[in-house]
Amino acid sequence: MAALPLQLRPLVQALQRHGFKVMLAPPANRRNYGEFVLRTRTLWIAPLSFELGIGTQVFLHEATHAVQSCPHGVLAPVGWTLPLLPVVSREISGILVNNYRHGNTAVEREAFALQGQADAIPRLIKALDQRCR
Kindly state whether residue 1 falls inside one of the protein's structural domains: no
Q: What's the rounded Cα separation, in Å, for the pair 111 and 84?
A: 12
pLDDT at 103: 65
Kindly state whether residue 85 falls inside one of the protein's structural domains: yes
**Reported pTM:** 0.88
- Tell me the β-bridge partners of 78: none
pLDDT at 108: 84
Q: What's the rounded Cα separation, in Å, for the pair 9 and 28?
A: 24
Q: What's the rounded Cα separation, in Å, for the pair 45 and 79?
A: 24
Give residue-wise pLDDT tens across range 29-78: 888 899 999 999 999 999 999 999 999 999 999 999 999 999 999 999 99
Kindly state whether residue 70 falls inside one of the protein's structural domains: yes
Identify the domain containing residue 12 by its residue range.
6-131
- The closest alpha carbon to 116, from 59, 37, 77, 35, belongs to 59
What's the number of domains the chain is made of?
1
pLDDT at 92: 67
Kindly state whether residue 49 falls inside one of the protein's structural domains: yes
